[in-house]
A and B are shown apart, each in its own frame.
Chain A
């Protein structure tokens, strides 16, 4: 019996293949390690997802969505959400972000 269709089947994985100039977690880890912040690909992924959750949380609040960590993590991993974040980060003056 085949597996039930879920989130991954509906939305796919968030990959960098379609982001021009985007890096995979291993390359990010290498780059960070080169510049003195030693980390492996899993850490890079964790930090990235934590950042995405920080962005997703106020959006959940704005639209009165479920505010539990699992639900926010689902949004953080959503490729459509990440694509929206890229669009908005591009729109915003990048130097103003931090």
Chain B
């Protein structure tokens, strides 16, 4: 957990929770346009927003973002809360906070948008898995899910791939011995060609191109034949027709006469 988040939690923890009467009193003041009362109501209920946000961690979004979204949901709830109905504020706010967080997760948990049918299929797959686990006490295989849904195994494979959460390359994976943290980009090996190798290769190609241009046509032809590199069809000066082709030409000329 980041230091910023930790100090935020500590600050939030210092604010006292509100009693039912205090909630009503503050709601009345908010209705009359008291900004300080609104602010106090927000701060007093941030713990609720955080606890709901925590339920949705590990869904592919940052905890900071989830808390921000749940706080936005909390503010919406405060602005719409009607104390006359007699409900506790937390009962009413829960719905708004959850809606806000869920919407954020739906639009930000994946780095690509899935079409509606794919989302629907993923929902069905999850349903089959839940029912199967309930009945047999174990997870179904992909073949069993495909059979239950009447779709191909490839389709299930593709859906499973789509359901994988995306991970940021900046995600912290471990703390180094020197106290500094390491991110995924620090530990993932770079499999691309080194810049030195690329430059070396370019230099070699340039030198070889020059060297190849010094070959005589005879040498070039033998190199081509040795390496199985095809001869240009249109270069009849350096690559005259073969004896076989010559013979067939002579034969056809004779037969024509």
Give chain A's interface residues, CB within 8 Å of chain B: 16, 19-23, 25, 27-28, 31-32, 34-37, 44, 47-48, 50-52, 54-55, 57-59, 62, 82, 84-86, 88-92, 94-98
Interface of B is mostly: helix
Interface of A is mostly: helix
Given contacts A31-B242, A35-B241, A35-B243, is CB(A44)–CB(B222) below 8 Å? yes
The contact of A88 among B204, B214, B240, by CB within 8 Å, is: B204
Q: B189 within 8 Å of A by Cβ?
A: no
Would B232 and A94 count as touching, CB distance under 8 A?
Answer: yes
Q: Which 8 A-B pairs have the closest CB atoms?
A: A21-B228, A34-B243, A51-B219, A22-B228, A55-B211, A97-B212, A28-B225, A58-B207
Chain A residues closer than 8 Å to B232, beta-carbon distance:
94-95
Cα–Cα distance between A84 and B228 once the two chains are bound (Å): 14
Q: How many A-B residue pairs have CB under 8 A?
A: 108
The contact of B226 among A48, A92, A98, by CB within 8 Å, is: A48
26 CB < 8 A contacts A-B: A19-B228, A21-B228, A21-B229, A31-B225, A31-B242, A32-B225, A35-B241, A35-B242, A47-B219, A50-B219, A51-B215, A51-B222, A55-B211, A59-B204, A59-B207, A59-B208, A59-B211, A62-B204, A85-B208, A92-B209, A92-B212, A94-B224, A94-B229, A96-B209, A97-B213, A98-B215
Q: B223 within 8 Å of A by Cβ?
A: yes
Give chain B's interface residues, CB within 8 Å of chain A: 203-205, 207-215, 217-230, 232, 238-244
Q: Give, as a whole number of angstroms, the nearest-CB distance from A60 to chain B.
A: 10
Instruction: List the A residue with the shortest CB-CB distance to B238.
Output: A98
Q: Give, as a whole number of angstroms, the nearest-CB distance from A55 to chain B.
A: 4
Other A-B pairs beyond A32-B222, A92-B209, A92-B212, 19, CB < 8 Å: A19-B227, A19-B228, A34-B242, A35-B241, A48-B226, A51-B223, A54-B215, A54-B219, A62-B203, A62-B207, A85-B208, A88-B205, A89-B212, A94-B229, A94-B232, A95-B232, A97-B209, A97-B213, A98-B215
